[in-house]
Amino acid sequence: MAEAGDRGTPRPPRAPWRFLRLTAGYWNGPRRWPVRGAILLLVLLTLAQVALAIWISYWNRDLFDALENRSGGALWRLAGSFGLIFLLTVAVTALHLEVKRWLQLDWRRWLTELLVGQWMDHARHYRLQFAPGDHDNPDARIAEDVRIATESAVGLFHSLLYSVLILGSFVDILLAVSGSLQLPGSGVSIPSYMVLAAFLYAGAGALLGLVLGRPLVHSTNRLQSVEANLRYGLARAREHAESVVLMHGEAHERENAARLFADVGRGWNRQTLAYLGIVSFSTGYGTLLPVLPILIAAPQYIAGTMTLGLLMQAAQAFQRLSSALSWPIDNLGELARCRASVDRIVSLHEDMQAMARHDRGEECSEEVCLYHAAHADLDIRQLRLLAPTGQLLLEGLDLHVRRGERVLITGDPAVTIALFKAVAGLWPWGGGEIVLPRDQDMMFVPQRPYLPAGSLRALLAYPQDAARYDDAGLLRALECAGIAWLAPRLDDSDDWSHALPLRAQQRLGIARVFLQQPAWIFIEEATDAFELKEEQSTMEMLHHELPDATLLHICLHNGLEHFYDRRLDLQRHGDRRAHPRHEGAASTAAPGSAATLPEA
C-alpha cells in the first residue's frame, strides 16, 4: 500500500485548510448573517483606518511645508484639522476593537461548543484516552488552543488586510512624490527608485526573516504541548490531593512536577534560540527603517527638486510600504503560535471524527458493536472482550436478560469491569454484539460515583435538572440509601467527593437510583465499602422500591446470592482454575466464558 505522499497518492490538505473546513459551519451556519455583518463592519473600519493613515500622510506633508515656509496661518489651520483627525482615529480604533473582540469571542464560543459536543458525545471524553492519535490534553486544546486560534486568526486577518490596503495606497503616494534618481556622472536615471528600494528592502528582510524564523514554528508547537502536560499534571495532583496525602506521595508529585517543568524549560530554551535570530534581525530591520528612506531621498531635497514636506511624506510612505511588505516577518511569532494551536485543534477533531465513524458502525467488525433494538430485553451475542493491550479477557459470551430479571455477576474483576464498560459503550476492544433495549432508561452505577461540586439537591438529580424532583422524593431517596442524616444539607454546596467518606459517597450513588428509578440498573461494585448487613439492607430496599427494575450487579464477595434470579460467573480467558460446573445457582463458568443458570 502506498504511503501518504507517494506518487499517485494525494496528500491531505494542510492543517490550516482543514481548520477552515472545520469552521465553515460558523461562517455559513444559522447565524451567518450577524457573523458576516461583523466581518463586513470590520473590513469597513479597516478601510477607515487606512483612509486616516493616508490623510495623516498628506497632513504631515503640509505641516513640514508650512514649517519650511514659516507660515503661521497655515500652521493654525493644520492644527485644527489635526483635531478632527485625532477624534476620528480614536472613534474608529475603539469601534474596531469592539467589533474584533466580539467576533473573536463569538467564534471561540461556537468552536468550543462544537468540540465539547463531540468530546462528550458517546463517551468520547473517556474513550479518547485509549484511542491512537495525537490528542493529548483535549481539555487544554479546547480551552486554550481554541482561544489562541480564534483570537490570532481574527487579529492576523485584520493586520493582513490592513497591510494589503496600505501597500496599494502608499505605492501610489510614493510613486507620485519620489520622482527619479539621477546617478552622478552617468546620465542614468532610475524612475520611482524609492518604490523599488522599498520592495528590495522588504523582500530581502522577508526572505532572511523566514529562514531565521523557520525553527520558531516547531519550537512553539512543542512548547505548547509540554505546557499543557504541566497543567494536566498539576491539576491531577490537585484532584487526587487526599490520596496523595494519605500515601505520603508529595515527594513523588514534586519530582513529577519538576520533570514536567524541565520539559517546559527545554521547550522554552529551544523557543528562545528560535526567537534569538528573528528578534535580532527584526530589531536591526526596524532601527534602520526610519533612517533609510530619508537618506535615500536626501539628494533630491538637497538638489532642490523636493520640498521638505515631500521629503517627509516620501519617507513616511517608504516606511508604511516596507512595513506592509514585512507583514510575514512582523507576525511570524503569532503565525507560529496560531499554526501550532490550529494543528492541535484539527488533530483532536479528526481523531474524534474517526471515533464517530466507529460509533456509526462503519468499522464495527473489529470492535464491540452496540445497538438498540425494539424489544425490551438485553442481548449479548458472541461477545469477545480484549484488554487495550490486546490480551484476550473473554471469548464467546451469549447472554439474554429479560426485563425485570435480577442477575448477580461475579468472577475475575478485569473481566467483570470490562463487561460493565462494554454494555455502557466505554469498551470497544473486542468483537460481538450488545443489543440494548430501546426506549428503556439504563443507569450505570460505578464503584466510585461522580459527585460534582454544587448543592446536594443537584448532585442527587445529576445528570437531570434538580427542578424535576420535589423535596419529598429527595428525602425518600436519602432515607432508602441510609443517609437520611444528609437531609438538612439538601441546599448546601460543597466539594462532596472530598467532604464525605467513600461509604457515604457510594450511598449517594445508590440514592440516585432510588430518586431517578431507572428501568435498568447496572451496578459495578458500588456497595463494596458497605458491611454485609448494609449491602443486604440496600438490596432489600431496591427490591421494595423498584420491584419491576432489571438489575445487573457486579459483586465479588458472597452473601447476596439469594437476592438474584441467577448468577453469572466470569473468568479470564485461559484461567485454569475455572472449570465447567452445572450444580445450581452458584456454579462457575468455563474458562473465558460465562454460565447463565436457571432461576434459583
Please tell me which residue, 147 or 15, carries the higher pLDDT value.
147
Phi–psi pair at 599, nearest 5 degrees: -55, 140
> Which tens digit of pLDDT belongs to each residue from 126-138?
777 777 666 777 8
The amino acid present at 338, given as its one-letter code, is: C
387: its cell numbers: 484488554
Query: Is the pLDDT score of 479 beyond 90?
Result: yes
DSSP states along 266-330: HHHHHHHHHHHHHHHHHHHHHHHTTTHHHHHHHHHHHHTSS-HHHHHHHHHHHHHHHHHHTHHHH
Closest of 577, 567, 419 to residue 591, by C-alpha? 577
pLDDT tens profile 206-233: 777 777 777 777 787 788 778 888 888 8
CATH of the domain spanning 369-570: 3.40.50.300
- Give me the DSSP letters along 101-167: HHHHHHHHHHHHHHHHHHHHGGGHHHHGGGSSSS---HHHIIIIIHHHHHHHHHHHHHHHHHHHHHH
Q: Nearest-CA neighbor of 293 among 186, 162, 194?
A: 194
Q: Are 103 and 40 in contact (CB under 8 A)?
A: no
pLDDT at 362: 53
pLDDT band at 283 (very low <50, low <70, confident <90, very high): confident
User: Residue 365 above 60 pLDDT?
Assistant: no
Residue of higher predicted confidence among 579 and 503: 503
pLDDT digits (tens, 9 = 90+) for 66-118: 887 787 778 888 888 888 999 999 999 999 999 999 999 999 999 999 999 88
| pLDDT value, residue 576 | 36
Under the banding of pLDDT at 50, 70 and 90, the label for residue 575 is: low
The 10 Å CB-count burial string (b at 16+, else e) for 151-170 is: bbbbbebbbebbbebbbebb
| pLDDT value for 32 | 86
**Set of cell numbers at residue 178:** 519620489
| pLDDT at position 27 | 87
Interval 131-147 mean pLDDT: 81
Q: What is the pLDDT of residues 154-174, one digit of tens each?
A: 999 999 999 899 888 888 777
Alpha helices in 502-569 (DSSP H): 502-516, 532-545
Q: Is the pLDDT of residue 588 over 50?
A: no
Q: What is the mean pLDDT of the chain?
A: 81
Q: What angle do CA 284, 194, 291 make, to 5 degrees?
A: 35
Residue 547: count other Cβ atoms within 10 Å of its Cβ.
8
The reported pLDDT for the residue numbered 559 is 82
User: Do 154 and 103 contact (CB within 8 A), yes or no?
Assistant: yes
Least confident of 231-240, 480-489, 568-577: 568-577
Q: Average the pLDDT over 1-16 and give the result.
A: 49
User: Percentage of the chain with pLDDT > 90?
Assistant: 29
Choices 1.10.8.60, 2.60.120.560, 1.20.1250.20, 1.20.1560.10: CATH for 15-359: 1.20.1560.10
**Per-residue model confidence (pLDDT) at position 189:** 63
Alpha-helix runs per DSSP H in 360-494: 413-423, 456-461, 471-480
Q: What are residue 380's DSSP bridge partners?
A: 399, 434
What order do you get walking across the sheet with 594-596 strand by strand? Answer: 442-445, 520-524, 550-554, 406-411, 566-570, 594-596
> Of the given ranges (238-247, 314-323, 422-431, 454-463), which has the lowest mean pLDDT?
238-247
Which strands form 378-386's sheet, in the order they lie side by side? 369-373, 430-437, 378-386, 392-401
Give the CA distances from residue 35 to residues 28, 40, 93, 362, in Å, rounded to whole numbers and listed in that order. 9, 9, 20, 35
Least confident of 149-163, 373-387, 578-592: 578-592
pTM score of the predicted model:
0.64
What is the widest separation between alpha-carbon atoms in the chain? 117
Which H helix or E strand runs over 454? strand 454-455
- CA-nearest of 436, 431, 435, 434 to 384 is 431
Cell numbers standing for residue 116? 465539547
- The count of other CB atoms within 10 Å of the CB of residue 559 is 12
Bridge partners, 520 (sequence order): 442, 550
Q: 3-state DSSP call for residue 532?
A: helix
pLDDT in tens, 527-558: 888 888 888 899 999 999 999 999 999 988 78
Res 276: pLDDT: 81
pLDDT at 429: 83
**For residue 589, pLDDT beyond 60:** no
pLDDT for res 452 = 83
As a whole number, mean pLDDT of residues 474-478 equals: 93
Query: Based on the number of CB atoms within 10 Å of its own CB, is 418 exposed (0-12), middle (13-18) or buried (19 or more)?
Result: buried
Q: Judge residue 42's burial from the number of C-beta atoms within 10 Å of its C-beta, 0-12 exposed, 13-18 middle, 19 or more buried.
A: buried
Question: Hey, do 15-359 and 369-570 end up sharing a CATH topology, with the first three levels equal?
Answer: no
CB distance 140 to 59 below 8 Å: no
First to last CA, the chain: 57
Backbone dihedral angles phi then psi of residue 443, each to the nearest 5 degrees = -110, 130
pLDDT tier, 581 (very low <50, low <70, confident <90, very high otherwise):
very low
Q: What is the pLDDT of residue 13?
A: 60
Q: Comparing C-alpha atoms, which of 386, 378, 369, 373 is closest to residue 432?
A: 369
Q: Which of the two residues, 208 and 464, has the higher pLDDT score? A: 464
- Cα separation, 378 vs 394, in Å, equals 18
CA distance 307 to 59: 14
Domain ranges of the chain: 15-359, 369-570
